[in-house]
Each structure stands twice: as C-alpha cells, then as structure tokens.
Chains A and B, each alone.
Chain A
Amino acid sequence: MLSARNLSVRYGMAQALRGVDLHVEKREIVALIGRNGAGKTTLLKAITGLVKSQGDIRYNGQSIGNLPPDAIMKLGISHVPQGRQIFGDQTVEDNLILGAYTKIKAQPKQVKAWLEREYERFPRLKERRHQQAGTLSGGEQQMLALSRALMSNPDFLVLDEPSMGLSPLYVKLILDTIKQLREEGKTILLVEQLAIAALSIADRGYVLSSGQVEFSGPAHDLLHDEKVVQTYLGA
C-alpha cells in the first residue's frame, strides 16, 4: 500500500535519514521504534510531505514524494503529529470539523455521520464538544487529535507517539483504539517510545538507529530478538 525506497532527509548539514527502505501493506499495523533522534518522526514527516526528502515514496503505486502535505492528505493518508497539535483556540467540535475540511463540501451527510462515529468512539469528546480544545487534558487532546485525523475517513493512518505524556489508563485506551481501527480496515504506521507496547499490537516492526533501519521483521520476532531486546526494549 505504501512503500518508501532509499529515503533520505537532511536538515541543513545534519543527515536525519539515510537510505531508508520501508513498506506497509494493507490492514497492517507497522511499528517504528528507536531512540530519540533516530529519525522516526522525520520519516513520518517525509511520508506526509511536511519535510522535503530524496528517494521514492509510493502510495497505491502513485509517487507522492514531491507533493505538499495538503495534497497527500487528500489521497487518504492522515497524520496525527507528535504533541497532538490540536487547534487550541477553537472548540472541540470545530477541530473535528476542520479534520473533515476536504470532505465537508462534497459529502456533508457523510461528515455528520463520521462526527457521530467519533463521538461514539470517545464519548468524552461529545461531552466537551463546545469547550476550547486547549483546555482539555493531555489524554483528551490525544483523543481529539486521533478523532480529528479520522474525520476525513482516511485509509492510512500515521501516528506519531500517541502515548506521549499520557497516564497508563489513557495509553491502554489509545492502544486498544488503534487495534480496533485495524478491525475497521485502516492501515496504520505507528511511532512509539513504548516499544514493547507498540510491538505487541503491531504486525511488523522497524527499528531505526541514526537515520537507518537497523532491524526489521515480524513484531513477534523483534520482541524475542535478543539484540533488539537488549538495546531497545530492555528495562
């Protein structure tokens, strides 16, 4: 469904990604793990067009490497950025409506149904629909960011550290939601600090280290690979 070949990104003099190969198949959860600064977020940003990259990125056979983020999003890839990045000065409902910005003119009825679907997924958002999004708690903001990304009914979800700064209860809720999204037919590329948790819901995983793919394979194998466990998952 999505493939990246020989992907490189530079920030000025610093090389953030060096020749990364990666592919994600339909209805898979693929986890991307690695230390801080390994290039995980950069890889996601390169895929959704937020940073310029060299190499070849294809989505359903179409080259998307040189498209701007708003064009890539219209192909059905939704990116939940690190730190949630909700529109804090607008209401919860307005945030969700903006998530459907590209669809609302053509399919107003569908969007309404999707809004109800998201309110059902996270009833807390419905309770707070008229509240300013910036006043939500961290966990609620993460729900909002996830729901906002789902409002365009994407096929492919890119999630950047959805567990960041959340209490264990919320982490479980978010991870369960991700599993459930696969059941709904979504394909998911997930970056996580909580590597064990991420690999335990993923089908496959990639381990990034200084901008390169160090290990890759079925999530189950990575979880039991001694080297991976020692370097990245240990204590």
Chain B
Amino acid sequence: MLQAVVSGLILGSIYAIIAQGYYITYITTRTMNFGQGDFLMLGALLGLTSYGAMATSGMPTVLSILAALLIVAAVMSLLGWGLERVAIRPLQHAHSIGWILSTVAVSIMIRNIAMLIWGRNVIPFPSPFGSEVVRIGDVGITRHELFIAVCAIVIMACLFFFLNKSLLGKALAAVAFNADAASLMGINPRRMAVLAFALSCALAGIGGILVGPITNTAFFMGATLGLKAFAAAIIGGLENPLGILLGGLLLGVIEQVFSLYNSAYKDASAFVLILIVLIFMPQGLLGKKVKEKF
C-alpha cells in the first residue's frame, strides 16, 4: 500500500509538471496545447536518442542526461514558439475555439512524423541510473524514481520562483490578468504568449524524458499521458499552480492504489476522480472563486 502511494506520488509529480504547461498557456492566452501529450512523446524519443548518442560516445552518465534535458528543453521551446505562431495566433479571435482543433492537428502531425522517424514499435528506454532499487523501510524506490522526485522538486521550485518573483513572471501574470493594461506598461502580450508556449512545450519535453523509463517510449504514448495531465490540471484548478501540483499527486496516488486491486481500474479511477471533483467543486480543488471588487 505504502509502496503504491510512493510510486503514485512519483508518477503524479510527472503529471503535475506536464500540467503546469497547460496552466501557463491558459493564464496568458486563454488557450492550451491539446497536443501536450504528443509533445511529451517527442521529448521522450528525442531525449532517448540524444542521450543514447552521447552515452555511447563516452560522456559520463550524469553529464549526458543533463545535456539531453537541455537539448530537449531547447528543441521543445522552439517547437512551442512555432506552435504559437502557426496554430494559435492566426486563430485566436475573441470567441474562436479554432485553436482546439489546430493544436490537435499539429499533435497528429507530430505523432505521424515520430512514427516515420522512430518506427511503430515500443522502444525500451533504459534508465540511465540502472534498475537498482533503493530500500527505505518497506518501500522500494528505483534510482530513476529518485531522480524524478529530485527533478520535479527542482522544476516546481524554479517555476514558482519564475512566476511569482521574477519580472518576467510578473509581466506574464499581468498579461493574464489584463492584456490591454499590460500592453500599456510596454509589455508585448504576443511575446508573452510565445514565451508561455515555449515554456509549456519545454515542460512537456522534460516530462517525456522523466516518464520514458517508467512507461517505455513509442509514438502513441502521448495521448493518455496528455489526457491524464489535463485531468490533473482540471482536478487541481486550472488557474492555480499549487492546485495543479496537488491534482497531479492525487491522481497519481489514486491510480496506483487502485491498480493494486485491478490494473483495469487504473485509468477508470482517474476519470471517476475528475467526475467527482467536477460535480462538487467545478472550479477544481484550489480554483479561484471570487474576483476583486471594482
């Protein structure tokens, strides 16, 4: 049981990282990348390939995984920039929901391109840290899971610092609150939108590298993960990064606990959880309810 909770927390922290990507683009542009899952898949495959290339050329493990993380983050940011220019900006009128379709379309293209490049088969993604298990009391944690936990904490800390303390984060929040007023401060809302999408896709890519060794990698891996991360964002409250973290962790734990009894319950439990949360707390667990006075 405790084992299931711990692996659930690890899995959930990955959901949370991916889901923060939804949050960042949603608050700045009121749009989201519905292909987040496929960007994650691309991150995983790209990470696997670049890590493999560097590891075989004799670079030390830690160095090559850090380099792989950096490469993936950079490439994904670039893709995020492209996504905003191609699929969001031209379609983002006041009441247009065309961006839903266009981001899904981009994700289908990415999925098929990935299939052409990496093939149809599931590619094993051996953890760079080996499959050794660390025992803490009754609970066994692989070294890769420890790595995920450390990464998740570091990424969340960076993200919270960036959003709440840095000037750019404040500008992002200003655009989210009132884009017109922000532009009167000399903040370019379009540039902020690009930044948000670049960041969001980079998070998906990093999530992909982290999750790869747990689920193994293939061109179709993205759909479910993207959906789960979206569920985490909805459960926690789309406009609250802390809520999203909580939503991700909760989702991960519930999934793992239910799969103790029957692995078929795993996915079902996740979506039952969404239904329950949405019925009783339509804003999500930590969603905003009241706005300021005027």
Residues of A that sit less than 8 Å from B by CB: 48-50, 68-70, 73-74, 78-79, 81, 83, 85-90, 94, 97-99, 101-102, 104-105, 132, 134-135, 148-149, 152
Contact = CB atoms under 8 A, between A and B. Distances in A.
Contacts of B173: 87, 89-90
Interface string B162-178: 00000100110110011
Contacts of B177: 87-90
Chain A CB within 10 Å, residue with most, of B174, B181, B185? B185
Given A89-B292, A101-B167, A104-B167, A48 B184 contact: yes
Contacts of B293: 134-135
A99 B181 contact: no
Given A97-B170, A101-B171, A81 B186 contact: no
A101 B187 CA distance: 7
B188 interface: yes
B185 A98 contact: yes
A152 B186 contact: yes
Nearest to B290: A134
Question: For chain B, which range describes its interface: under 10, 10 to 19, 20 to 34, or 35 or more residues?
Answer: 20 to 34
Given A87-B177, A90-B173, A98-B174, A69 B183 contact: yes
Contacts of B132: none
Contacts of B292: 88-89, 132, 134-135
B186 A101 contact: yes
Interface in B181-236: 181-189
Contacts of B185: 70, 73, 98-99, 101-102, 148, 152
Given A87-B173, A89-B177, A135-B292, A68 B188 contact: yes
Contacts of B187: 70, 98, 101
A131 to B, nearest CB: 12
Contacts, number: 77
B183 A102 contact: no
A90 B180 contact: no
B280 interface: no
A70 B186 contact: yes
A85 B179 CA distance: 10
Given A88-B291, A90-B177, A149-B184, 5 more contacts: A87-B178, A88-B177, A89-B173, A105-B167, A135-B292
Contacts of B167: 97, 101, 104-105
Nearest to A99: B185
A70 B183 contact: yes
A90 B170 contact: yes
B184 A98 contact: no
Contacts of B186: 70, 73-74, 101-102, 152
A85 B181 contact: yes
B74 to A, nearest CB: 23
Nearest to B186: A102
B261 interface: no
A41 to B, nearest CB: 12
Contacts of A70: 183, 185-189
B216 to A, nearest CB: 42
Contacts of A101: 167, 171, 185-187
Contacts of A90: 170, 173-174, 177
18 contacts: A48-B184, A68-B183, A79-B184, A85-B180, A85-B181, A86-B181, A87-B173, A88-B177, A88-B291, A88-B292, A89-B173, A90-B170, A98-B171, A98-B187, A105-B167, A135-B293, A149-B184, A152-B186
A132 B182 CA distance: 17
Interface string B71-109: 000000000000000000000000000000000000000
B174 A87 contact: yes
A69 B184 contact: yes
Nearest to B175: A87
Contacts of B174: 87, 90, 98
Contact of A50 (B170, B180, B294): B180
Contacts of A83: 294
Contacts of A49: 183
B92 to A, nearest CB: 16
Contacts of A87: 173-174, 177-178, 181-182
Contacts of B181: 81, 85-87
Nearest to B294: A83
Contacts of A105: 167
B193 to A, nearest CB: 13
Nearest to A133: B292
Nearest to B180: A50
A48 B186 CA distance: 11
Nearest to B288: A89
Contacts of A68: 183, 188
A167 to B, nearest CB: 16
